[in-house]
Amino acid sequence: MGQVGTSSTIRPATVSDLDIIDAIEAASFALDRFPRRNLRRMLIRGRTRFWLARCKDEPAGYAGVSFRKGSRVARLYTLAVLPGFKGQGIGVALIEAGIVAAHRADCRCMRLEVRGSNQPARKLYERLGFRLLSRLSSYYEDGETALRYEQSSPVTGDGVEETDPL
Ligand SMILES: CC(C)(COP(=O)(O)OP(=O)(O)OC[C@H]1O[C@@H](n2cnc3c(N)ncnc32)[C@H](O)[C@@H]1OP(=O)(O)O)[C@@H](O)C(=O)NCCC(=O)NCCS
């Protein structure tokens, strides 16, 4: 089990965590929310791998990284930390779990898209070495531009659990 600080853990998630992941989505996104059926499909199919963070034995956040067959680019597809658990390094730890998995899958980089207005997330990605690749205008349903970031430096990921649940 991966450790975040003293009382948090990160572990791979499975379809049995669907209710928790769906609840974190609902609490974290007013827009861009993944429908539950999509989350379920992704958890079952296994092309997107998920990690769940718990803090003091409560669900605190989750991340999903998608891997496409024949592609060496991993994609940070979703990331959310519940409001009461922000600012404790859980977001960083979830991304690092994904980066470690991408590295082990022989991916050469990780990419993601983020709203230009999402300053907390952008700051976090830039601190982890993600570099701005391109701007995708009208990417989101409400017309907002997405910023595409890429990170290609491996992270050690000390303490991240290695087992693949899918
Ligand atoms: C973006 C998001 C995932 C960040 O999660 P988080 O757990 O708060 O992130 P972290 O704690 O790892 O890092 C954020 C801040 O906490 C600080 N921090 C990191 N470890 C810490 C610790 N042990 N103790 C206190 N603060 C810490 C970081 O320095 C950082 O501060 P900053 O304001 O200087 O950047 C979260 O804000 C979120 O869920 N937002 C809504 C959903 C969203 O926008 N997702 C991304 C879509 S692309």
Which CATH number is 2-151 given?
A: 3.40.630.30
Q: Please write the tens of the pLDDT for every residue from 74-86.
A: 999 999 999 999 9
Record the tokens describing residue 6, joined without a space.
């003293």
Q: Is any ligand 1 atom within 6 A of the Cβ of residue 55?
A: no
Our answer on whether the CB atom of 60 is closer than 6 Å to any ligand 1 atom is no
Residue nearest to atom 1 of ligand 1 (CA): 121
Please tell me the predicted confidence (pLDDT) of residue 18.
98
| CB distance 137 to 128 below 8 Å | no
Q: Break the chain into its structural domains and give their ranges.
A: 2-151
The residue whose CB lies within 8 Å of the most ligand 1 atoms, and thus the one to mutate among 65, 79, 122, is: 79
**pLDDT given for residue 102 in this prediction:** 96
Residue nearest to atom 9 of ligand 1 (CA): 91
The mean pLDDT value of the chain amounts to 90
Residue 123 CB–ligand 1 contact under 6 Å:
yes
Contact of 81 with 90, CB cutoff 8 Å? yes
What is the three-state SS of 4-69? ECCCEEEEECCHHHHHHHHHHHHHHCCCCCCCHHHHHHHHHHCCEEEEEEEECCEEEEEEEEEECC
Closest CA to 81 of 140, 121, 135: 121
Residue 116, pLDDT above cutoff 80 = yes
Ligand 1 centre to CA of 11 (Å) is: 18
